[in-house]
């Protein structure tokens, strides 16, 4: 190792004292072992502590004019850049209350003058060893946190892809596209964010709740997998018997999700699937009680399903189906408004009105070939 490399690897010690003789004594003691710089005032000590390379340890006198050591320590601890630098008081103040005050302010050690060279070197070495151990632990914890976040992100990506894949099975069976999933998912998110601004929804539509509803939305029609193709894709109007079979897809979807989660002990890990079950089972319920499968009305219908109901109908209106053409945006908007308080929750319709431009932008960014956007 060259002299330059050796010096670069040595720890940095800042010695603070207003007496030149004390600086000379401590500097001479420490220089054979460390890179030493000195400061003869509290103000200069703070400047030096904030100068690169930052000191690994500070030896600080207490009795200094203008700014004493206690004040220097307070300011060091108040600064995020210097608060973790260990400070050792070296002072002639040897009363127990002086030592207690220094330690209470955050000093790591307290050495009284006149100094013993062996004690100073041993205490400095011990504090530097402790700091090195703390730094290793901090860096390891930071790495662990980073790794945990990376794996959570990776898990969420896999989870989202799996949800989309499952939802696409139902959409493909219904001759719809994956873009329908993306559009309705984003509509639900936009409605939830808009409603979250109202005081009565602040507790219900937290960022976490909105994220779960958004994640769960693609599974709204998963029950269509259980509907015979001849009924699902019939180009004309269903007869009464076919319609009754068609309506079962809501309960089929809720039941399928329930079977997947009913034995799961870690509720938190599948909480969004409970929301998905709410949406799948209830997004065809209507505010006035005329929907299916259970004829729920008003706030008996879960909020997530009330959002999905409007999102799903709006997207169906502006999209071509085997039984209808795509309607222009204004026609779809008028139908939604007409059904305020009938099919749809009035406040959800009001939120839709407030973010109609967002709906149009979502439809345009995920448009299919035959859409009226």
Phi, psi of 324 (to 5 degrees): -165, 155
C-beta neighbour count of 10 within 10 angstroms: 14
pLDDT by residue (tens digit) across 101-122?
888 888 999 888 888 999 999 9
Q: Which residues contact 81 (CB under 8 A, 6 or more apart)?
A: 50, 54
Residue 150, Cα to own-chain centre: how many angstroms? 13
In this structure, what DSSP letter does residue 53 have? Answer: S
Distance CA 49, CA 13 (A): 10
- List the one residue out of 98, 103, 67 whose CA is nearest residue 88: 103
Class of domain 3-142: alpha beta
- Look up the CATH number of domain 175-365: 1.10.3210.10
Provide long-range contacts, Cβ within 8 A and 24+ apart, for 68-73.
68/42, 69/16, 69/42, 69/102, 70/101, 70/102, 70/105, 71/42, 72/16, 72/42, 72/45, 72/46, 73/102, 73/105, 73/106, 73/107
Which single residue is written with the structure tokens 């794996």? 151
- One DSSP character per residue, 265-333 reads S-GGGGHHHHHHHHHHHHTT--TTS--SSS---GGGS-HHHHHHHHHHHHHHHHB-BTTBPPPPHHHHH
Q: Are 68 and 42 in contact (CB under 8 A)?
A: yes
Token pair, residue 372, equals 């009226």
- One DSSP character per residue, 321-373 reads BTTBPPPPHHHHHHHHHHTBTTTB-HHHHHHHHHTHHHHHHHHHHT--TTB--
Q: Are 317 and 331 in contact (CB under 8 A)?
A: yes
Residue ranges of domains in the chain:
3-142, 175-365
Q: What does the pLDDT read at residue 8?
A: 57
pLDDT by residue (tens digit) across 263-316?
777 777 678 889 999 999 999 999 999 999 999 999 999 999 999 999 999 999
Which residue positions in the chain have pLDDT lower than 70? 1-8, 152, 155-162, 164-178, 269, 370, 372-373
- One DSSP character per residue, 212-245 reads HHHHHGGGTTGGGGGS-HHHHT-SSPPPHHHHHH
Q: What does the pLDDT read at residue 301?
A: 98
pLDDT by residue (tens digit) across 234-256?
888 889 999 999 999 999 999 98
């Amino acid at each position: 190792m060259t002299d330059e490399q050796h010096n670069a690897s040595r720890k940095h010690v800042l010695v603070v004292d207003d007496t030149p003789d004390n600086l000379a004594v401590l500097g001479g003691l420490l220089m054979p072992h460390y890179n030493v710089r000195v400061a003869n005032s509290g103000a200069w000590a703070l400047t030096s502590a904030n100068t690169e390379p930052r000191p690994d340890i500070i030896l600080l006198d207490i009795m200094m004019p203008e700014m004493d050591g206690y004040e220097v320590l307070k300011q060091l601890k108040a600064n995020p850049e210097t608060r973790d630098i260990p400070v050792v008081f070296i002072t002639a103040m040897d009363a127990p209350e002086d030592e207690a005050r220094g330690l209470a302010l955050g000093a790591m050690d307290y050495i009284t003058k006149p100094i013993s060279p062996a004690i100073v070197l041993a205490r400095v070495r011990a504090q530097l060893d402790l700091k090195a151990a703390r730094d290793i632990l901090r860096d390891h914890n930071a790495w662990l946190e980073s790794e945990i976040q990376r794996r959570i992100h990776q898990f969420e990506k896999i989870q989202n892809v799996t949800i989309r894949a499952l939802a696409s099975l139902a959409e493909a069976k219904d001759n719809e596209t994956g873009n329908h999933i993306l559009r309705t998912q984003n509509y639900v998110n936009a409605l939830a964010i808009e409603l979250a601004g109202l005081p009565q929804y602040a507790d219900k539509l937290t960022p976490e709740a909105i994220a779960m509803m958004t994640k769960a939305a693609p599974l709204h029609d998963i029950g269509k997998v259980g509907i015979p193709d001849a009924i699902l894709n019939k180009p004309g109007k269903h007869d009464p018997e076919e319609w009754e079979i068609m309506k079962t897809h809501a309960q089929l979807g809720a039941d399928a999700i329930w079977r997947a989660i009913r034995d799961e002990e870690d509720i938190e890990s599948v909480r969004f699937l409970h929301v998905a079950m709410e949406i799948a089972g209830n997004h065809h319920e209507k505010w006035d009680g005329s929907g299916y499968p259970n004829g729920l009305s008003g706030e008996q219908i879960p909020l997530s399903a009330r959002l999905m109901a409007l999102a799903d109908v709006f997207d169906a209106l502006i999209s071509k189906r085997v039984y209808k053409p795509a309607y222009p945006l204004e026609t779809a908007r008028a139908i939604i408004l007409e059904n305020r308080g009938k099919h749809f929750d009035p406040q959800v319709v009001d939120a839709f009105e407030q973010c109609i431009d967002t709906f149009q932008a979502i439809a345009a960014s995920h448009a299919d070939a035959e859409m009226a956007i």
